[in-house]
């Protein structure tokens, strides 16, 4: 392996801000007769949400509020309204960012559980529930097209999914020449602080209109959401209003609403805070990672983002089969020291709050930080084969599980799983009741000794475990001509 290659570093991030609201002004805002941002369907009552309160003349012209610097981020717990009848039923939200490719589009829900799982599905734009039995042989459920966000702003896009048993839930969007998927995070593990990972916007030949996109949807009624904007270039336009970098957008959202914003430049480091837990998805409608004038690609990327209280400080990046190399993006929450190591070299770097650094990754890499960080991987467009990039969350070593139920899409993808485990335990994996053999790549740092390997896998619902009950990391991904997808197989969430 070559020496570590450092890719461009972001601009230094400004101090983190927390937004303070005057409660009296929030109450007064409920008497405004029209929403500032967004409108529901004509047949429905106008929304009382999306309101910003302030007291200066014409202060709502740009929907901004004043920020107060704080040294670090903390989070709080709130009761959820998505646990029906006070039971332990797990609930999820699934929605999809606006897409560049919409020809022959499909929006799917993948469910992988121990046996038959009963799910209820309520699409936000509908007033009825669907109850469906999911089996390992019938693991995919088609969602209506209304789960896909079609434009920036607020709207009723997405679906609420509840299950009667433990199961892994994945959202998957596919269309001709472009698709992507993500692991859905259960409602009970969502929280109130998120820092947005995204990726560089590179327009080659101006053929594609690439944008960095993020969307937010709440759990509770009247949830106040603040978005503190950060990008490598501005201003940012939302609903025909221009915002300067480091300014904030504030709105009030309800459970059946989503709010999307996009920008022609990278939104990495944007901060989302809320008065109650929210779901956050980040990505792009069209990302190019093959930066030459004659060859370029355009694939959507999309992941559901972990809140800051579900992160780790120790990561091992797995082998990504079929891709020669990948970009690993490490995004800080607070000021953090980072040690990155591959098989031939190591480097240590300091990051300021909400600053990121990109590293080149090949077969296996190791990251250790002094504070929790967000780690995502972006495999680089590959020739021959025209395998497109995708966005995949790397979960930390302390978030590994001893077994996984996971789903693999069909749709013509050549799919793989990659595993990371302590090197002494690399030989004990059982996939669908059969032993598997992996090509091994290993890395050591101090007392840590990890190995990674990959194996091809057919579409469908699967189960994998370790003979000794050892915890390990699992990722699912695949590619076909002009397309690619990737997501974690599962994550051990903190209570």
CA distances to 246, 274, 301, 407, 457 from 227, rounded to whole Å, are 10, 9, 21, 33, 40
Average pLDDT, the chain: 81
Please state the rounded mean pLDDT for residues 455-483: 94
**Percent of the residues in the chain that have a pLDDT greater than 90, as a whole number:** 62
How many Cβ atoms are within 10 Å of 115's Cβ, its own excluded? 10
Please state the rounded mean pLDDT for residues 138-162: 94
**pLDDT at position 105, please?**
84
| Cα 261 from Cα 247, distance rounded (Å) | 14
| Cα 137 from Cα 115, distance rounded (Å) | 10
CA distances to 299, 303, 315, 480 from 176, rounded to whole Å, are 11, 20, 34, 11
pLDDT digits (tens, 9 = 90+) for 306-358: 999 999 999 999 999 988 889 999 999 999 999 999 888 899 999 999 999 99
**pLDDT at position 385, please?**
60
Please state the rounded mean pLDDT for residues 124-149: 90
| Cα dihedral 236, 147, 273, 168 sign | negative
**pLDDT at position 480, please?**
84
Residues facing residue 227 across a β-bridge: 249, 272
**pLDDT at position 27, please?**
30
At 132, give phi and psi (nearest 5°): -135, 140
Owner of token pair 């919409």:
102
Q: What is the DSSP string of 382-413?
A: BTTTTBPP--EEPPPGGG-BSEEEEEE--TT-
The H or E element that residue 23 is part of is helix 23-29
Given a contact cutoff of 8 angstroms between Cβ atoms, the answer to whether 253 and 49 are in contact is yes
Q: Tell me the pLDDT band of 230, cut-offs 50, 70 and 90.
A: very high
How many Cβ atoms are within 10 Å of 410's Cβ, its own excluded? 12
Q: Which of 349, 353, 345 is nearest to 372 (CA)?
A: 353
| Cα 358 from Cα 320, distance rounded (Å) | 17
Q: Tell me the pLDDT band of 433, cut-offs 50, 70 and 90.
A: very high
| Cα 354 from Cα 195, distance rounded (Å) | 7
Q: Which of 284, 352, 295, 246 is nearest to 100 (CA)?
A: 284
| Cα 257 from Cα 216, distance rounded (Å) | 9
**pLDDT at position 415, please?**
95
Please state the rounded mean pLDDT for residues 421-442: 94
Residue 158 has pLDDT above 50, yes or no: yes
Highest mean pLDDT among 84-93, 94-103, 432-441: 432-441
| Cα 398 from Cα 219, distance rounded (Å) | 27
Q: Which of 341, 350, 403, 402 is nearest to 373 (CA)?
A: 350
| Cα 455 from Cα 187, distance rounded (Å) | 31
**pLDDT at position 495, please?**
80
Residue 72 has pLDDT above 50, yes or no: no
| Cα 349 from Cα 47, distance rounded (Å) | 47
Q: Tell me the pLDDT band of 198, cut-offs 50, 70 and 90.
A: very high
Answer yes or no: pTM beyond 0.75: yes
Residue 67 has pLDDT above 60, yes or no: no
What b-and-e string marks burial along 99-114, b requiring 16 or more CB atoms within 10 Å of the CB? bbbeeebebbbbbbbe
Residue 111 has pLDDT above 50, yes or no: yes
pLDDT digits (tens, 9 = 90+) for 387-424: 788 999 999 999 999 999 999 998 789 999 999 999 99
Comparing 36-50, 127-141, 146-160, 401-415, which segment has the lowest mean pLDDT? 36-50
How many Cβ atoms are within 10 Å of 341's Cβ, its own excluded? 21
pLDDT digits (tens, 9 = 90+) for 29-63: 322 222 333 333 333 333 333 333 333 444 444 33
Which of residues 459 and 115 earns the better pLDDT score? 459
Which of residues 485 and 32 earns the better pLDDT score? 485
**pLDDT at position 286, please?**
83
**pLDDT at position 114, please?**
87
Q: How far apart are the first and last CA of the chain?
A: 39
Q: Which of 344, 343, 340, 403 is nearest to 373 (CA)?
A: 340
How is residue 172 written in tokens? Answer: 């998957």
**pLDDT at position 434, please?**
95
Please state the rounded mean pLDDT for residues 138-157: 94
DSSP strand E in 288-364: where?
A: 299-304, 312-317, 326-332, 336-341, 346-351, 356-361
Which of residues 483 and 359 earns the better pLDDT score? 359
| Cα 142 from Cα 56, distance rounded (Å) | 48
Residue 66 has pLDDT above 50, yes or no: no
Owner of token pair 């929605």:
95
**pLDDT at position 81, please?**
41
Residue 290 has pLDDT above 80, yes or no: no
**pLDDT at position 126, please?**
79
At 271, give phi and psi (nearest 5°): -105, 130
**pLDDT at position 79, please?**
40
Which of residues 238 and 223 earns the better pLDDT score? 223
Highest mean pLDDT among 14-18, 129-133, 387-391, 467-471: 467-471
Residue 206 has pLDDT above 80, yes or no: no
């Amino acid at each position: 392996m070559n020496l570590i290659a450092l890719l461009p570093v972001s601009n230094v991030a400004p101090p983190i801000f927390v937004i303070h609201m005057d409660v009296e002004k929030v109450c007064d805002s409920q008497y405004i007769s029209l929403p500032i941002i967004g409108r529901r369907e004509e047949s429905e009552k106008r929304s009382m949400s999306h309101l910003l309160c302030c007291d200066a003349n014409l202060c709502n012209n740009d929907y901004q509020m004043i920020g107060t610097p704080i040294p670090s981020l903390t989070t709080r717990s709130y009761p959820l309204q998505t646990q029906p009848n006070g039971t332990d039923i797990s609930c999820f939200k699934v929605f999809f960012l606006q897409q560049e490719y919409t020809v022959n589009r499909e929006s799917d829900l993948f469910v992988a559980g121990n046996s038959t799982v009963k799910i209820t599905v309520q699409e936000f734009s509908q007033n009825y529930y669907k109850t469906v039995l999911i089996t390992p042989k019938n693991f995919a459920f088609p969602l209506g097209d209304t789960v896909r966000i079609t434009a920036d702003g607020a709207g009723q896009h997405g679906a609420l999914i509840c299950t009667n048993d433990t199961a892994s839930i994945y959202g998957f969007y596919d269309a001709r020449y472009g698709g992507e998927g993500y692991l859905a995070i259960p409602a009970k593990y969502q929280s109130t602080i998120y820092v947005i990972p995204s990726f560089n916007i590179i327009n080659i030949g101006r053929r594609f209109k690439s944008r960095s996109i993020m969307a937010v949807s709440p759990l509770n009624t009247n949830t106040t959401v603040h978005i503190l904007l950060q990008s490598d270039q501005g201003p940012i336009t939302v609903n025909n209003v221009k915002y300067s970098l480091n300014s904030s957008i504030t709105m009030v959202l309800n459970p059946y609403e989503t709010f999307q914003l996009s920008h022609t430049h990278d939104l990495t480091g944007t901060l989302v805070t809320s008065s109650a837990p929210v779901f956050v998805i980040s990505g792009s409608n069209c990302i190019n990672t093959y930066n030459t004038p004659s060859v370029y690609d355009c694939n959507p990327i999309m992941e559901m983002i972990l809140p800051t209280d579900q992160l780790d400080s120790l990561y091992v990046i797995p082998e990504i089969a079929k891709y020669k190399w990948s970009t690993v993006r490490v995004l800080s929450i607070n000021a953090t020291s980072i040690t990155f190591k591959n098989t031939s070299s190591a480097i240590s770097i300091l990051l300021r709050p909400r600053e990121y650094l990109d590293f080149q990754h090949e077969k296996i890499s190791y990251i250790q930080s002094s504070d929790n960080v967000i780690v995502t991987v972006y495999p680089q467009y590959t020739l021959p084969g025209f395998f497109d990039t995708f966005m995949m969350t790397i979960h930390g070593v302390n978030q590994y599980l001893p077994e996984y139920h996971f789903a693999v899409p069909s749709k013509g993808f050549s799919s793989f799983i990659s595993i990371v485990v302590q090197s002494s335990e690399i030989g004990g994996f059982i996939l669908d009741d059969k032993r598997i053999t992996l090509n091994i790549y290993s890395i050591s740092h101090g007392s840590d000794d990890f190995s990674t390997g990959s194996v091809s896998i057919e579409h469908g619902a699967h189960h994998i475990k370790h003979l000794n009950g050892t915890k390990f990391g699992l990722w699912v991904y695949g590619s076909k001509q002009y397309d690619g997808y990737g997501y974690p197989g599962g994550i051990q969430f903190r209570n």
